[in-house]
Chains A and B, each alone.
Chain A
């Protein structure tokens, strides 16, 4: 299938990535050839071909809510990696 500039733009938008126009051209071509290669899996026929894979082997690993750690124990460590902060808050631009 053809992956044109418009399609790449749509995908980049979904993925929250800005691309330059030369990047768009290159990516479109690369992805086209990768998709052409991986499309060989469409040829595989299997008894469950149109169904979702059997997920019976997969189980969710849950745990009960327990005692949380002491409040503020890791705050400074984590916030010291935040690009923009104000006190103990992560600072972002106005949303509304």
Chain B
């Protein structure tokens, strides 16, 4: 059996092309790891029954040298909110428990064209609403580094799937932290792409002005491959950015890094802060200039996010009515059917956000909350624009704490605070990468910590460049 835990996408690709092993060998190694480890982790909601068939098809392509890409034969896990035609996609919700996707998400189509092998659909917070996967209707995902702790959320399943070597890469969606936070909790690299860089077509909608599908992997180089394969203009997503937006930026000789120290005074774990400071020193020693920056309105970002996001969620989730797809519960009338269906179909956090969103959008409160939040959102955007006149990237920790214990954050507000450093990239559309930056010890266990690098719109290339140098990867 091949040692898949020692492989990343680049090495696996070389092995496949050189004939050291086959895509079927890789797929079998993944399935074996799921059988051995996933009963303790709960990363998968379903392992597809055609994994070997997909791998055989990839092997045939490799043998015939037929359109081989770096992802041909590579095992990939999908978050359970990305449509894969003919397969169940439930968003980890009772309301979609038996829903079968009627079409492929653009990301899935691109991965199929590239010859990737889908291992299965993975667990998440219901509809992406959470930072720990404790809100899944199908049980929490446990952290492979300490099973008493969460894997992070909402894409906890995709992160844990790669961490237990049951896939070499995975795709989640990131509305406020949902790719970066679980990546940091599970010792992986995770990317929230520029808004509009990756098509949202076929992603079950939650916060439409915020969310992007984003990849996770073991190395920055792998995440770059996954991003390059899935990004690009798509006429099926009206906010998709035309290719010419990726204009040729001049490559700068010396990149300058900005650090908003003023934003890291409160609510951050001491060891995480120490780890962050070490990361900054490391980047200095690699030759980067580090500058102090001020983002005057950044302190309001979590508040803005927790107004805009539920507002959008309440509108998006209105589509679940028990009429066109998903769960149906009978009431006394058409309208009673809606009430009954949504009552039994949605979990508590989903109901909480729908009701909150309905409140901030309702007559009398709309200006005070929703409109004001959009005004402050624009102020935060201009803070970042101003900062990026002087620096090329901005650094923060990905999360203020390492992975927390299951059940530790019972009060919703304390859970929301996990997103304190990540929501800015969603509010402004900017790309952000989380890279592993070491670990802290809790209860005798080493827990991974992540460093977040934020770049201006469409400058994923700078993130990859700095991320690789920070991680000591060769290009």
- A41 and B308 alpha carbons, distance in the complex (Å): 12
Q: Does A83 lie within 8 Å of B326, measured CB to CB?
A: yes
Chain A: CB-nearest residue to B373: A41
Q: Does A81 lie within 8 Å of B303, measured CB to CB?
A: no
- B110 contacts the other chain (CB 8 A): no
- B307 contacts the other chain (CB 8 A): yes
Chain B: CB-nearest residue to A91: B323
- A16 and B336 alpha carbons, distance in the complex (Å): 9
Contact residues of B between 403 and 452, Cβ < 8 Å to A: 411-413, 416
Given known pairs A31-B356, A38-B369, A61-B238, the reply for A46 and B325 (CB within 8 Å) is no
- A94 and B335 alpha carbons, distance in the complex (Å): 11
With beta carbons under 8 angstroms apart, the residue of B100, B238, B334, B342 that contacts A81 is: B100
Secondary structure dominating the interface of A: loop
Given known pairs A11-B359, A18-B339, A18-B340, the reply for A82 and B375 (CB within 8 Å) is no
With beta carbons under 8 angstroms apart, the residue of B100, B355, B378, B412 that contacts A15 is: B355
Contact residues of A between 10 and 67, Cβ < 8 Å to B: 11-12, 14-19, 23, 26-27, 30-31, 33-35, 37-42, 44, 46, 48-54, 61, 63
- B288 contacts the other chain (CB 8 A): no
- B127 contacts the other chain (CB 8 A): no
**Footprint of A on B, CB under 8 Å?**
99-100, 102, 235, 238-239, 297, 300, 303-304, 306-307, 314, 318, 321-328, 333-335, 337-340, 342-343, 346, 348, 351-352, 354-359, 362, 367-369, 371-379, 411-413, 416
9 A-B pairs with CB atoms under 8 Å apart are: A23-B348, A31-B359, A41-B373, A42-B368, A46-B379, A51-B375, A80-B100, A82-B325, A93-B333
Knowing that A30-B352, A34-B412, A41-B300 are A-B contacts, what are 6 other residue pairs whose CB atoms are under 8 Å apart, sorted by A's residue number? Answer: A16-B338, A23-B348, A41-B372, A42-B372, A82-B323, A82-B324
